[in-house]
Amino acid sequence: MSHSLATALPSAETGPVICVVGARPNFMKMAPILRAMAAHAPPLPMLLVHTGQHYDKDMSDRLFEDLRLPRPDVNLEVGSGTHAIQTAEVMKRFEPIVEGYNPSCVVVVGDVNSTLACALVAVKKGVPVVHIEAGLRSYDRAMPEEINRILTDQISDRLYTTERTAEANLMREGIPPSRVCFAGNVMIDSVVFGRANARSAKDTLQASNMDAAVLLHPLGYGVVTLHRPSNVDHPDALRALLGVLAEVAVRLPLVFALHPRTRSNIDRFGLLDLIDPARMVLLPPQGYLEMLGLMADATLVLTDSGGLQEETTALGVPCLTLRENTERPITVEQGTNTLVGRDREAILAAVQEILAGRGKRGRLPEFWDGHAAERITADLFQWLTPRPANQAVGSV
């Protein structure tokens, strides 16, 4: 476990705000928060803890560079494991950090195992928990993230939401409205921040030593990502999806950025033959600026990621989500997202619509404006400021 105690040492009374990241989708949510905290007057003392849930250069270090995240002050280096082992290991290693720093609060983002594990440690130590991206619900408890969301929200003291439906979900679960603050989407802060420096699709392909000829197709190209256990952990499901993608690729060349679990499952299940390299380019996990560039210029995106559903809405690019449900309904109602599940007919019909120029253009949801982190930081500062015991704080 590596420590560097340089940045924000705790004072005798209240220590820093501990900000937790663990896995890839956390990094783009936390980066704008850290920037806003540093820019706040007065700056909020903070300590960045990386649990090490994601540890590869491709899954972690490159994103830190692209998002200009500071080096973590503490890396718990938990690595991979079953859900129980990973969650327990984060908890065991995070507890002494909370004891040592006496934080004013612990800020967690999103819905990965590290989010829940650190929230649980903090609440049991009597430290306030702040959850950014609270209240999203797929109502599918087979998703590990759904369990993480429900439990994290139940033990959080301050909950920042990205869309209005999230607040209604929280009310249904008995969370007092005074704890909830609709502040907008920090994910989009990162899109706004990164857009100017996004890498071109051509540079990205060439950097991976891939032939960029697919980019010359008159209809453009599609971007694919897949990593949900329900889509990639069962041979039949993965075979069926790769079969449909092969059919799509006949119409539109595809660029497929492979998550490590998807890569290893394609090999393990012997499915590489389903991929025609002339029509479907396989890439390793991409950096943030590469993904932004690939998506921004794409004709469409096919994905089961939560983050990509939001990023494509921000970029105005049609997105087909290969899931039966979404915890981000605003991307369907107002954005560019369409749920197509794993149904072959539905996927091919939706692709056809987009290629015929009838894809969703969408509009930007409320507060998806690049300033969510500033709103959160201003509110958090107020919330943390000691006040007379009889003075309650309401939502902003």
Residues with a catalytic annotation lie at 227
| 29 binds ligand UD1 per the rule CB under 6 A | no
Q: Are 249 and 279 in contact (CB under 8 A)?
A: yes
Specify the residue, 62 or 279, whose C-beta has the smaller distance to ligand UD1: 62
Interacting residue with ligand UD1 among 35, 54, 199, 375 (CB under 6 A): 54
Name the H helices within the chain: 24-39, 62-66, 83-101, 113-124, 144-154, 164-172, 186-195, 201-207, 229-232, 235-251, 260-268, 288-296, 306-315, 330-333, 344-353, 372-384
Which among 69, 72, 93 is positioned nearest to 81, based on CA atoms?
93
| 149 binds ligand UD1 per the rule CB under 6 A | no
| 25 binds ligand UD1 per the rule CB under 6 A | yes
Interacting residue with ligand UD1 among 15, 16, 17, 24 (CB under 6 A): 24
Interacting residue with ligand UD1 among 23, 46, 109, 258 (CB under 6 A): 23
Specify the residue, 82 or 385, whose C-beta has the smaller distance to ligand UD1: 82
| 113 binds ligand UD1 per the rule CB under 6 A | yes
Q: Are 284 and 59 in contact (CB under 8 A)?
A: no
Interacting residue with ligand UD1 among 80, 178, 197, 206 (CB under 6 A): 80
| Stretch near ligand UD1 under the rule CB under 6 A, chosen from 36-44, 124-132, 253-261, 384-392 | 253-261
Interacting residue with ligand UD1 among 128, 220, 260, 316 (CB under 6 A): 260
3-class SS of residue 319: strand
Axis-axis angle for helices 306-315, 288-296 (nearest 10): 50
| 269 binds ligand UD1 per the rule CB under 6 A | no
Specify the residue, 16 or 72, whose C-beta has the smaller distance to ligand UD1: 72
42 preceded by a cis bond (ω within 30 of 0): yes
Chain contacts with ligand UD1 (rule: CB under 6 A): 23-25, 53-56, 59-60, 80, 111-113, 144-145, 227, 259-261
